[in-house]
Structure 1
Amino acid sequence: MDHTPSSALSLRGLTKSFDGTEVVHGVSLDVPAGSFYGLVGPNGAGKTTTLSMATGLLRPDAGSAEVLGIDMWAEPERAKAGLGVLADGLRTFDRLTGRELLTYVGLIRGMDAATVSDRTDSLLQALGLAGEEGKLVVDYSAGMTKKILLACALIHSPRLLVLDEPLEAVDPVSGEVIRTILRRYVAGGGTVILSSHVMQLVEELCSHVAIIAEGQVLASGTLDEVRAGGSLVDRFIGLVGGADVAEGSLSWLES
């Protein structure tokens, strides 16, 4: 009998405060297994804080997060075993080469050395990094850095990928490589959660989406359900607001 949970990620009432100010207000969300799920919102909306609590990087003040049916904060080692994370701004061991970093991550994950070596070769090749042997990660471009961090998230073959702004500051060629790999990963049965404030990217890639602002979910469901017959940008602005510029407020710019 198949006991695979229908939700790859299930959040219930996640809450977080910093310095006495609550920034995430009881977020609840279900990410269907096999979906490409976009989490969108303006800067400061609480996307990174929510994903950090969901992936074991930040302890919530209240609420729960289940990864593939396993409670992240009750059984973190089990939950993290099936999870790959690309966290925005998280420090890494960048004084290693790409190969050394991937090898380190694979061994820390408990994989045998031969499997780590084989997967490192295939990931470096697929991501266009095989020609960068000897270069330290600290000397990588922004696009190369995103690709090696994605490789670190993939090397143990997780069933859920959580990616915080995976294409920010990435050049078009690197961006297309990342898109292709993520599409293939989902087609093969994996689940991706991608946070972004770029609506075009989410509409292009995602099957499901949630709009988050000021620490709460304003809408969630399939892409078509959330768009409600319009564009994602229009629905987003309609829910979040703040797009108007008062007439005459910048009259000094007009010739």
Structure 2
Amino acid sequence: MHVHDLWKSFGPQAAVAGIELTLPAGRFIGLVGPNGAGKTTTLSMVTGLLRPDRGTVRVAGHDVWADPAAVKARIGVLPEGLRLFERLSGRELLGYMGRLRGLPGAEVDKRAAQLLDVLDLAGSQHKLVVDYSTGMRKKIGLAAALLHNPEVLFLDEPFEGVDPVSAQTIRGVLERYTRSGATVVFSSHVMELVESLCDWVAVMAAGRIRAQGPLVQVRGDAASLQEAFLTLVGAGARQPDGALDWLGGGGAGTGVGA
């Protein structure tokens, strides 16, 4: 995947400011940055959900905006703020999404059954999606994104709000997927998670790419990715220096209610 001179502004604010990215195929890639860095905006443009002001994106050899149908046939997306057909059951949702992708009905049913089983949703497959927990919704969304066996999978904060059991299940499926030669690109601001999963990272801050490359290269001599990240984004440890000196100690210093 290659991103060239990508820009997106909202009013006077540049959310993404001319980024360049070259992401290798067949890797587990982390797009990391603080909240507001531009990660979601970038993924939205890369996956064809948001039109950039300027720049080009090529995924699996195709231009996202010149040939959107070819790109969308080759990618799976689990976006932030996932929207699902909530009045369908989990099994019905996968059946609908597979047929929408043009897969034969029998193949859709076979793949759906396997995904539901592997993602520990088989027991809830006839339950309406509106009644699913956050973790279950993430898993059924992941199943829908994987159903057509995409070459590249884009995930925006896939572990946000997910319980440890569901997170471990999702992680196992993603690791199996990348071992087959496919590519996962996921955004996160949790450095420990990225460091444990990814072998390639891009660090983003204030709409720009600060570093990209293999994890060991970006981490460099730092003790952890977290330490390297804080240096790259210029977030040194801030000391209050007397500010908030009223905080703590039981809150008895105001005289209120005395």
The TM-score, its normalising length taken from structure 2, stands at 0.93
Identify the match of residue 113 of structure 2 among 115, 118, 121. Answer: 121
Q: Deviations over 1:129-165 (max 9, x none)?
A: 0001321111110100000000010000001000000
Identify the match of residue 248 of structure 1 among 242, 248, 255. Answer: 242
Of 240-249 and 16-25, deviating more is 240-249
* Equivalenced residues, count: 247
SS at 1:194 equivalent: strand
Alignment of 1:213-252 (within 5 A): 213-230=205-222, 231-242=224-235, 243-252=237-246
Of 166-175 and 83-92, deviating more is 83-92
SS at 2:23 equivalent: strand
Question: Match for residue 5 of structure 1?
Answer: none
Identity of aligned residues (%): 55
**Contact 2:145 2:153 (8 Å CA) reproduced:** yes
Deviation at 1:22, TM superposition (A): 1.7
Question: Match for residue 254 of structure 2?
Answer: none
Identify the match of residue 111 of structure 1 among 103, 123, 141. Answer: 103
**Contact 2:78 2:155 (8 Å CA) reproduced:** yes
Question: Match for residue 162 of structure 1?
Answer: 154
SS at 1:91 equivalent: coil
- Give the Cα–Cα distance (whole angstroms) in 2 for the partners of residues 101 and 216 of structure 1: 37
Gaps of 5+ in 1: 1-8
2:97 matched to 1:100?
Answer: no
Question: Match for residue 72 of structure 2?
Answer: 80
- Give the Cα–Cα distance (whole angstroms) in 2 for the partners of residues 40 and 21 of structure 1: 20
SS at 1:24 equivalent: strand
Identify the match of residue 12 of structure 1 among 4, 13, 23. Answer: 4
Aligned-pair RMSD on alpha carbons? 1.0
SS at 1:106 equivalent: helix
Q: Deviations over 1:79-115 (max 9, x none)?
A: 1111000000142211111111111110111100000
- Give the Cα–Cα distance (whole angstroms) in 1 for the partners of residues 197 and 87 of structure 2: 33
Identify the match of residue 165 of structure 2 among 152, 155, 173. Answer: 173
Which one has a bigger Cα radius of gyration?
Answer: 2
Identify the match of residue 38 of structure 2 among 26, 46, 50. Answer: 46
2:139 matched to 1:147?
Answer: yes
The TM-score, its normalising length taken from structure 1, stands at 0.94
Q: Deviations over 1:8-49 (max 9, x none)?
A: x21111100112322110111011011100000011110000
